[in-house]
Amino acid sequence: MATSTENIADTPDTAETDDYLTYVEGVGNIPRDIYKHVKSDPLGDLPRYSMHIVIQHFMTFVTFLILAATGLTLHFADLWWAPYIMSLFGGPDVARFIHRFAALLMVIASVYHVFTIGGGIIYSLMKKKFNFRRTQIPVLKDIQDITHDFKYFMGKVPHRPKMNKFMYKQKLHYFAIIWGTFVLITAGTTLLFPEFMSTIWPNPQFAQDLARLMHADEAIMAVTVIVFWHWSNVHLVPGRFPLQWSFITGKITREHQIEEHFLEYLYNIEEIPEEKEYIKKVLKEKGLSTD
């Protein structure tokens, strides 16, 4: 099926096809499994995150670890392991101060993120370059990609779906983090400033009890999701182990981009002349070039 880069990227019906070959004008037919034949730098080849996102992720990552270590230790202070962890922070009073300071930094990182995303959208709209398919906005295709991916992992189809810059798993991760951060900040603020928050909540005592319950439970859930889902999916899966460097370099490997974000790779070909020449060279070496 012959389709231009523009059609593949911008037409939903075309983007959802799972044809083995994708024709890109000026390049030729790109096989779905070409990622097996390209060279990749473990530190990354293609742009994925801006430096703003890298900084925000680092702030969130560090503060999350500190908040989990101090907060859960304070919450489970009567358990056998808590005193040992508490001593590392210099006692409960110091741990409480560190917890609150780390919480402040996480709030700052969250506000920074909102302004970055909002500013980026406004800038793209002004330049008439905004494309919601390259954002975290959920679309119907995500559901279709989940179904297709299940079929692939069950051996029912030969290739993975052609997915956008952010695939369904990453969107789930992202919105889970948004929800968790909202709950933790809201509950934490209610506990830290009871007098002020009592003027907002209709039932102050109920709000305090609910906040205490939600703050601890959401923290446990967040640790579980981050450790057993996010880290394993991002860093421990085959092909990414022992570490995926995107969160530091802001770049993604060429192999990863083509395998899981094929539609975004088409944009890379269009926007990066060097990448266009590289993939043309690979296709020619494999005898697949048609231009």
Average pLDDT, the chain: 89
List, for residues 173-211, the tens digit of each pLDDT value: 999 999 999 999 999 999 999 998 888 888 889 999 999
pLDDT 10s digits, 219-256: 999 999 888 888 888 888 887 888 899 999 999 999 99
Report the DSSP beta bridge partners of residue 23.
Answer: 29
How does DSSP classify residue 18?
A: -
What pLDDT was estimated at residue 11? Answer: 37
Mean pLDDT within 84-91: 93
Percent of all residues in the chain with a pLDDT value above 90, rounded to a whole number? 78
All residues at 6 or more sequence positions from 114 whose CB lies less than 8 Å from its CB, including other chains? none
pLDDT per residue as tens digits for the range 104-123: 999 999 999 999 999 999 99
**The CATH number of domain 47-255 is 1.20.950.20:** yes
Cα–Cα distance measured from residue 64 to residue 114, given in angstroms and rounded to the nearest whole number: 18
* β 251-252/21-24 pair status: unpaired
- pLDDT score at 4: 42
Report residue 171 CA to chain centroid gap: 7
CB-CB neighbours of 145 under 10 Å: 20
**CB crowding 169-178: b at 16 or more within 10 Å, else e:** bbbbbeebbe
What pLDDT band is residue 49 in, cutting at 50, 70 and 90? very high
